[in-house]
């Protein structure tokens, strides 16, 4: 049990972090670890109730932009010792990521991506289709044109990571208020002065927006326009079967991804280009759809025929917070002192969060300006400094 405070929120805080998902909790922990006191996290529902508790738990370093590769690479290094650091099992397992394609025209970008990843010391490699059978023996490779593989990629259990960060942050004095909603932000002459919640007001000079798919509407409260849009994505879990699958398999052709959990279940999802894009929380609809189950089952059995015998046990949906270049938005905005954000993870916030949080906390607590945070700032869109990451799957 994590001891969470009850009753009204404190009247003052040195920082208020909005969002009890992986980002808000990791940033709270990292700030506290660096000596910041009087930190408050606000979560309107339960911890992990946003995208984090609905995600596939995949962690990969196979990206096409240097910033995503670096953040993921550093996050993998963090995940390797996170359980010990946080004092809670994270179920992090480096079974690798096998990225496959059925499309000849992707081969060049796969090879270029491997070269960039290798230049960042990520040990990925290009594979011919038949070489995939050494990694997943029952994979149907008849339509595959090529693949890449990185053994150091893997998966972790999202709720354990969330609870681990919450526990470690609480131990360092962070006060996490669940079922507490931010209603309004007080700002005055270009700086943050406080927040209004449904459990009272907090005077604070620093507000950190980690509200995931809700961050666009939170930013709008302080006059910051984010280019993010929100997409609904579904995921499912099968009954358990004998362990056969070490890596996460993902296809950049049709957007399917699937892995096997430690309990033997197949966990996976598939993107759907016909899903609507939303920009207002009132539009979010996370009900399950038969359409997804059919699309996923067809794609899964095409890649891995033995899945025909498996029963689907549960499916659920969550939201991606997607930026125009599929890279997160980190840091502040000029002219608004005391406002920071970590959002727009475009379906990859679970894997990028540990190091994004660490870098952001370091910068906030007075370290040197961070080059990766600068290149991922909101200002990049007005600078026209945009390089989209091509390996967005799901």
Tell whether residue 213 is a contact of ligand FAD (CB under 6 A).
yes
Q: Are 65 and 389 in contact (CB under 8 A)?
A: yes
- Minimum Å distance from CB 343 to ligand FAD? 6
Least CB distance to ligand FAD at residue 148 (A): 17
If you write DSSP's letter for every residue of 146-172 in order, what string do you get?
A: EEEEETT-EE--HHHHHHHHHHHHHHT
49 binds ligand FAD (CB under 6 A): yes
- Closest approach of ligand FAD to the CB of residue 61, in Å: 12
331 binds ligand FAD (CB under 6 A): no
The answer to whether 146 contacts ligand FAD (rule: CB under 6 A) is no
> In whole angstroms, what is the distance from residue 192 CA to residue 339 CA?
7
Give me the DSSP letters along 298-362: HHHHHH-GGGGGPPEEEEEEEEEEE-TTS--EEEEETTEEEEEEEE--TT-HHHHHHHHHHHHHH
Cβ closest to ligand FAD, residue 5 vs residue 129: 5
Binding range to ligand FAD, per CB under 6 A, among 22-30, 167-175, 366-374, 385-393 = 22-30
> For ligand FAD, how many residues bind (rule: CB under 6 A)?
40
Closest CA to 258 of 87, 57, 5, 109: 57
Least distance in Å: CB of 182 to ligand FAD?
4
Site string for ligand FAD, 296-325 (x = CB under 6 A): ----------------------xxx-----
* Strands of the chain, DSSP E: 15-18, 39-42, 58-59, 97-101, 124-127, 146-150, 154-155, 175-177, 182-188, 191-197, 200-203, 207-209, 229-240, 248-251, 256-260, 265-270, 277-278, 312-322, 329-333, 336-343
Q: Does 75 bind ligand FAD (CB under 6 A)?
A: no
50 binds ligand FAD, rule: CB under 6 A:
yes
Of 281, 162, 277, nearest in space to 219 by CA: 281
Q: Which range, of 38-46, 133-141, 270-278, 380-388, touches ligand FAD by CB under 6 A?
A: 38-46
**Residue 235 found at the interface with ligand FAD (CB under 6 A):** yes
Query: Which range, of 4-12, 15-23, 95-103, 188-196, touches ligand FAD by CB under 6 A?
Result: 15-23
Stretch that binds ligand FAD, among 1-9, 123-131, 209-217, 372-380 (CB under 6 A): 209-217
Name 115's Cβ contacts closer than 8 Å, sequence gap at least 6. none
Question: How many C-beta atoms surround the C-beta of residue 350 within 10 A?
Answer: 24
Closest separation between CB of residue 55 and ligand FAD, Å?
A: 3
**What residues line the site for ligand FAD (CB under 6 A)?**
18-24, 42-45, 49-52, 54-58, 181-182, 210-214, 233, 235, 269, 318-320, 345, 347-351, 394
């Amino acid at each position: 049990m994590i001891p969470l405070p009850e009753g009204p929120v404190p009247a003052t805080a040195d920082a208020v972090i909005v969002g009890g998902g992986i980002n808000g909790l990791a940033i709270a922990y990292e700030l506290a670890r660096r000596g910041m006191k009087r930190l408050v996290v606000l979560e309107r529902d339960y911890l992990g109730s946003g995208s984090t508790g609905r995600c596939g738990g995949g962690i990969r370093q196979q990206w096409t932009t240097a910033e995503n590769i670096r953040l993921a690479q550093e996050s993998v290094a963090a995940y390797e010792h996170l359980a010990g650091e946080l004092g809670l099992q994270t179920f992090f397992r480096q079974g690798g990521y096998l990225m496959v394609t059925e499309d000849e025209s992707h081969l060049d970008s796969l090879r270029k991506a491997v070269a960039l990843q290798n230049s960042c010391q990520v040990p990925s490699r290009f594979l011919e289709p038949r070489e995939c059978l050494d990694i997943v023996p029952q994979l149907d490779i008849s339509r595959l044109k090529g693949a890449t593989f990185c053994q150091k990629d893997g998966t972790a259990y999202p709720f354990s990571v969330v609870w681990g960060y919450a526990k470690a942050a609480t131990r360092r004095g962070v006060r996490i208020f669940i079922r507490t909603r931010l209603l309004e932000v007080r700002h005055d002459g270009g700086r943050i002065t406080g927040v209004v919640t449904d459990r009272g007001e907090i005077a604070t000079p620093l507000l950190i927006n980690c509200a995931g798919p809700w961050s666009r509407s939170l930013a709008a409260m302080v006059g910051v326009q984010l280019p993010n849009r929100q997409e609904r994505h579904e995921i499912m879990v099968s009954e358990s079967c004998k362990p056969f699958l070490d890596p996460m398999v993902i296809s950049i052709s049709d957007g399917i991804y699937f892995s096997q959990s430690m309990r033997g279940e197949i966990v996976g999802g598939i993107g759907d280009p016909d899903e609507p894009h939303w920009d207002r929380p009132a539009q979010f609809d996370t009900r399950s759809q038969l359409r997804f189950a059919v699309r996923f089952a067809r794609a899964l059995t095409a890649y891995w025929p033995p899945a025909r015998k498996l029963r689907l046990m549960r499916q659920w949906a969550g939201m991606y917070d997607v930026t125009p270049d599929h890279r997160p938005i980190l840091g502040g905005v000029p002219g608004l002192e005391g406002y920071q954000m970590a959002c727009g993870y475009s379906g990859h916030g679970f894997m990028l969060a540990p190091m994004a949080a660490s870098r952001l906390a370091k910068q906030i607590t007075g370290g040197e300006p961070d080059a990766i945070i600068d290149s991922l700032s909101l200002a990049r869109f007005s600078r026209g400094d945009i390089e989209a990451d091509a390996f967005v799957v799901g």
